[in-house]
Amino acid sequence: MDFNCLMRLLVVTLMLLCVHSKADVAGSVYFLDSKTHQYFRPRLSEVVAETDSMTLPEVGAAVSVLLGLAPSSSLSSHGSSKLNKVVMPNPFDRPRAVFTLEVIGAADSQVTIESAHGSQIDFDSYKADIQLPGEGEVYVVSLNEPSSSDDNSELTDKMINDFATWLGGSYAPNPSTTMSGELIIPLASGSDINLHMSKKADKQFAASLLHLINNIQRATDMHQDLIGTIDYQAAELLTGTFKGVKVLQKEYGKQGVAEQGLELLLASVSKIYTSMQTAYGGKLVGVILLGETTLSESETMLNLMYTSEPSARLLQEVKGSSNSTIAAAAEVIFVRTLLAWLTGIILIIATLLGTYYLMYMPITRDTLLYSNVKLD
Q: How many domains, the chain?
A: 2
Q: What is the mean pLDDT of residues 5-20?
A: 44
From CA 142, how far away is CA 238, in angstroms rounded? 6
Quote the CA–CA distance of 102 and 242 in Å, as a whole number. Answer: 6
- The pLDDT of residue 166: 95
Residues 62 and 200 in one domain: yes
Task: Spell out the residues 6+ positions from residue 345 whose beta carbon is closer than 8 angstroms to its own.
Answer: none
Q: Is residue 9 part of a domain?
A: no
Residue 93 and residue 205 in one domain: yes
pLDDT tens for 107-116 read 878 888 877 8
**374 and 236 belong to one structural domain:** no
Instruction: Please check whether residues 295 and 340 belong to one and the same domain.
Output: no
In a domain, 17, yes or no: no
pLDDT band at 249 (very low <50, low <70, confident <90, very high): very high
Is there a single domain that holds both residue 171 and residue 218?
yes
- Identify whether residues 199 and 297 lie together within a single domain: yes
- Domain boundary residue, one of 320, 347, 363: 320
Report if residue 6 sits inside a domain: no
Domain of residue 264, residue span: 25-320
With cut-offs at 50, 70 and 90, classify the pLDDT of residue 186. very high
pLDDT-derived band at 27, boundaries 50, 70, 90: confident
Task: Provide the CA 365 distance to its chain's centre, in angstroms.
Answer: 62
Question: Is there a single domain that holds both residue 158 and residue 281?
Answer: yes
State the CB neighbour count (10 A cutoff) for residue 324: 10
Main-chain dihedrals φ then ψ at residue 250, nearest 5 degrees: -65, -30
Which class for 149: exposed (0-12), middle (13-18), buried (19 or more C-beta within 10 A)? middle
Q: How far is CA 255 from CA 33, 119, 259, in A?
A: 29, 22, 6
Strand partners, 242: 103
DSSP-derived letter for residue 87 is B
Q: Determine the pLDDT at residue 84.
A: 87
116 in a structural domain:
yes
Q: Average pLDDT over the chain, rounded to whole? A: 80
